[in-house]
Amino acid sequence: MQVRRLAGALGAEIHGVDLSKEPPVAAIRDAFLEHQVIFFRDQALTPAQFMAFARGMGEPVEYPFVKGIEGFPEVIEVKKLEHERHNFGGIWHSDTAYLEIPPMGSLLLAREVPPFGGDTLFASQTLAYESLSEGMRRLLDGLVAVNSSAKADVTRTREDRVKEQQASSQNYEAEHPVIRTHPETGRKALYVNFAHTVRFKGMTEEESAPLLGFLFEHQVKPEFTCRFQWRVGSLALWDNRCTQHNPVNDYHGHRRVMHRITLAGERPR
């Protein structure tokens, strides 16, 4: 197994591993914790093989709002068809931060890719936190963020639109620390995101807006990011506790079909 860093901030490609067999789970998990998002190439996995690898990385859970593929309720299809203009989660975000217990991470496997475009950006929230001034870190350390699935339409991710299409009237809201500590590495990370964070607890949206606006811009600076170009059989595993991601919506008129598995997490602290 060879691990090749993709960028200075985060991300690594892992080579020499066939995930359909018996991959070195412990070594892969070490790389995952070190690099925050890891990538594999040329993995022609069946849904059962995909699930088997996911179980080695964590506990697969069903994704809210989206029904799984036949026979595998934890595997959802993430697709944008030729006629569609919106993609799934096409904005910088941490997955479902409006849940009381958001996911630990996600795996995404490319089934069909467009002839160009459709890359995914990732941003390290530990590096974003560590790059803040000491004074700003002190200010943020005691703050709690209110995250909602009902944030304004302009920030709706595609999973929110799917929820609406299913006629669900329920809105999810959760309060999480602005700075969370990774339960395995002990590193601190920013835990607000443009798609779902509405305000700080005990403050109005208007009062919260200036500081949140600064954080939203700061946490996705180019020097905190990496970019991944998909091919059929590419697989990504990202740590939702310390990263954000943004699938670039630049391939109108073409299909992009992925399979995704979400891994159970823990309450942010």
* Catalytic member of 93, 187, 199, 241: 93
Q: Active site residue: 158, 187, 196, 260, which one?
A: 260
Q: How far is residue 184's CA from residue 97's CA, in Å, rounded to a whole number?
A: 19
One-letter amino acid of 125: Q
**Which pairing describes strands 37-40 and 179-181: parallel, antiparallel, or unpaired?**
unpaired
Q: Between the CA atoms of 71, 74, 80 and 83, what dihedral angle is there, to the nearest 10 degrees?
A: 50
> One of 35, 95, 196, 241 is an active-site residue; which one?
95
Q: How many CB atoms lie within 10 A of CB 269?
A: 9
Active site residue 86: no
Strands 12-15 and 37-40: parallel
Active site residue 95: yes
Distance between CA atoms of residues 172 and 148, nearest Å: 6
Reply yes or no on whether 260 is catalytic. yes
- State how far Cα 257 lies from the chain centre: 17
Say if CB 247 and CB 45 are below 8 A apart: no
Catalytic residue among 199, 241, 245, 259: 245
What are the catalytic residues?
A: 93, 95, 245, 260
